[in-house]
Structure 1
Amino acid sequence: MADDNADHRFPPLKNDLLLRAARGEEIERVPVWVMRQAGRYLPEFRELRAEHNFFKICQTPELACQITLQPIERYPELDGSIIFCDILVIPQAMGMTVEMIPGKGPSFPSPLSSPDDMSRLQYPVDVKASLGYVMKAITLTRQRLDGRVPLFGFCGAPWTLMSYMIEGGGSTTHSKSKAWLYRHPAEAHQLLDMLANTCADFLVEQVRAGAQILQVFDSHAGILGSHLFSTFSLPYLEKIASKVKATLKEQAVPMVVFAKGAHYAIEKLAMTSYDVLGLDWSMDPQLARSQCGEKVLQGNLDPCALYTDQDDLRKKTEEMMLSFRGYKHIANLGHGIYPDMDPDHLRTFLRAVNSYRKS
């Protein structure tokens, strides 16, 4: 990997612990960051959000940078930052309308009802033109981080994006999108390939803009069984990682894959080109380790554990750390932090990780 300090656009990196851990190198302590650490649980975010539309924030580099830095300013215990954005900017770049509705979440007024609707999609996507605001936010954030911690870029996985685009929003069954896999497999593969290519191009540009590590979120992986995942998700996850690394070559950065609920696929995911395998809270780290060799693991405290009292939270964090003891590990929650979480409880979690790793 290229020396992070060689890019003279940015201040020298002072804390490279997360990057070294992701590359599987020897580390003096376990690094920690939290999925969705920049967001709705912070009062300073809610104050800014009250004045601006969600996607307007994503599309305004100054605002996205400000929100990305909020948890870094509040929690010096963090070893990483992640750019404030949303996985659904890719469907937007492909010409779909996506709205963020308070109390409901993302909504597509005109989802893909049949394969014929794929003709509405804009492809190929010029990500530098349509998503250039993300890259500007990344560059600005890298500068304002002043080298304190590395910056994550990210995207959604093709299957997860496809599910949103067909369901029109969140779903418990994902029956509409899964129906495509059974009824229209050729068109499903076509759409997934389009998404994978766009995701890979997007991630490459994020690195060129200043991202130092990448994560791909397959949030809906758990709705698929082993066969469907191996057929319609895994090949496109691998395509993203392979294409990003082949394009960037010596500039390639560590990559994390987080396939929520994919218990059945840990061994297969460990064989991909990703450097780090994210575990959700229901996955046993010791079982995962037995299936994935020396792959670096990330996770995996139940986000709901942050609802408990702080003494119990410290104990549960210690138990989580102990379950990864001796493994190559990046500490995190097993999914994103929830919006009604007490920010002080996140501090307790972070300090418990710090206390454990110093003991």
Structure 2
Amino acid sequence: MPAPLQNDTFLRACLRQPTDYTPLWLMRQAGRYLPEYNATRTRAGSFMGLATNPDFATEVTLQPLERFPLDAAILFSDILTVPDAMGLGLTFAAGEGPRFARPVRDEAAVAALAVPPPDKLRYVFDAVSAIRRALNGRVPLIGFAGSPWTLACYMVEGAGSDDYRQVKTMLYRRPDLLHRMLAINADAVAAYLNAQIDAGAQAVMVFDSWGGVLEHRAFAEFSLAYTRRVLDQLKRENEGQRVPAIVFTKGGGQWLESIAASGADVVGLDWTCDLGAARRRIDDAVALQGNIDPMVLFSSPEAVAAEARAVLDSFGDPRRPDGRFGGHVFNLGHGINQHTPPEHVAALVEAVHAHSRALRQAG
């Protein structure tokens, strides 16, 4: 049996249950801003050497928890593991980011796609199990995957992109091909997340990193519809507990109501959204995650603390006059920058925990 959870504040906030303070975790919290991560990556020899080795993945997942009193751990992996398992040939060149040897750009390439067998991703599920054991109930473990649309962007472009020309050309010229790819991606992501849940993930997150680059009608048809297809297939209970699902669309604030109605328990917001206004727009129908600008962490510790307090004040007291609760998980509006001073992260964590407790005591 897994060890009992000692700190369930994150899970309670995801499910809009009372909490003593606002829980906090950071997107990319295990990463290059930590010297201990860089030392482990050097030992592993490469990013994929790190991500595909459960022992190394466990080590780096736990590193930020040793430094900061964070309220959740997130699996160390990459969103592109799923298309890699489809046989597209993923590599990470130093300073260049991810690249696929075989981009998917024509009918034959789309026809060859299939949901990968679980064994192709066994290393991820082994890492989830190992991390869960190593946590020993300290905090919950979050699993994750890229959204079907975001995966398609990389699969068609073959790498990151500034203009998404290849994938948007397919969208407008051959929408049938893109829909076929997105359906396969959605079923693959759902199976992948369910296997992470079976291995011990206590919450899961869908990163729709590039949903915000779509035209507003195209977002509903090519991104949100397939994120919903993932959510519709997810296991929502495991070990007798609800498994919350988080959806984060960078640049997606204009579609907040639609994303909130997708079946997600939590909607992540980037820093362009007013958190209090977002809460009012959805009337606490789901919890919200976010949304401080990661660049704030390059200012002084005092400024970091002030900005954190402003985000918490914007959301307000999670207790409502009608007796219900609003859920807030504090996070960055996107991933932490690799040059971030770790001591500024410590200031952020301390400010969030202290000010959110004070807000509840004052209410």
TM-score range, shorter-chain basis? over 0.9
3-state DSSP of counterpart to 1:131: helix
Residue 102 of structure 1 deviates from its aligned partner by: 1.8
**Counterpart check, 1:114 vs 2:106:** yes
**Counterpart check, 1:149 vs 2:148:** no
Measured on the aligned residues, the alpha-carbon RMSD in Å equals: 1.5
Equivalent pairs, count: 348
**Counterpart check, 1:135 vs 2:91:** no
**Counterpart check, 1:296 vs 2:287:** yes
| Match in the other structure for 1:344 | 343
Contact residue 197 and residue 235 of structure 2 kept, 8 A: no
1:31-110 matches, within 5 Å, as: 31-51=23-43, 52-75=45-68, 77-110=69-102
| Match in the other structure for 1:173 | 163
Contact residue 204 and residue 248 of structure 1 kept, 8 A: no
Question: Identity rate of aligned residues, in percent?
Answer: 39
3-state DSSP of counterpart to 2:247: strand
Q: How far apart, CA to CA, are the structure 2 residues paired with 1:338 and 1:306? A: 9
| Match in the other structure for 2:323 | none
1:195-210 matches, within 5 Å, as: 195-210=185-200
Contact residue 110 and residue 180 of structure 2 kept, 8 A: no
267 and 45 in structure 1: CA distance in 2 versus 1, 3 angstrom threshold: same
3-state DSSP of counterpart to 1:50: helix
Match among 159, 180, 198 for residue 190 of structure 1: 180
Q: TM-score, normalised by structure 2?
A: 0.93
- Give the unaligned 5+ runs of structure 2: 319-326, 359-363
| Match in the other structure for 1:231 | 221
Q: Which amino acid aligns with 1:339?
A: Q
3-state DSSP of counterpart to 2:143: strand
How big is each residue's C-alpha offset from its partner over 1:191-222, in whole Å with a ceiling of 9 and x where there is no partner? 00000000000000100000000000000011
| Match in the other structure for 1:274 | 264
Runs of 4+ deviating beyond 4 Å: 246-252
Q: How far apart, CA to CA, are the structure 2 residues paired with 1:284 and 1:84? A: 30
How big is each residue's C-alpha offset from its partner over 1:307-335, in whole Å with a ceiling of 9 and x where there is no partner? 11111111111111111112421101111
3-state DSSP of counterpart to 2:206: strand
Residue 37 of structure 1 deviates from its aligned partner by: 0.2
**Counterpart check, 1:214 vs 2:214:** no
Q: How far apart, CA to CA, are the structure 1 residues paired with 2:353 and 2:278? A: 24
Q: Which amino acid aligns with 1:84?
A: F
Q: How far apart, CA to CA, are the structure 1 residues paired with 2:111 and 2:218? A: 25
- Give the unaligned 5+ runs of structure 1: 1-7
Q: Which amino acid aligns with 1:312?
A: A
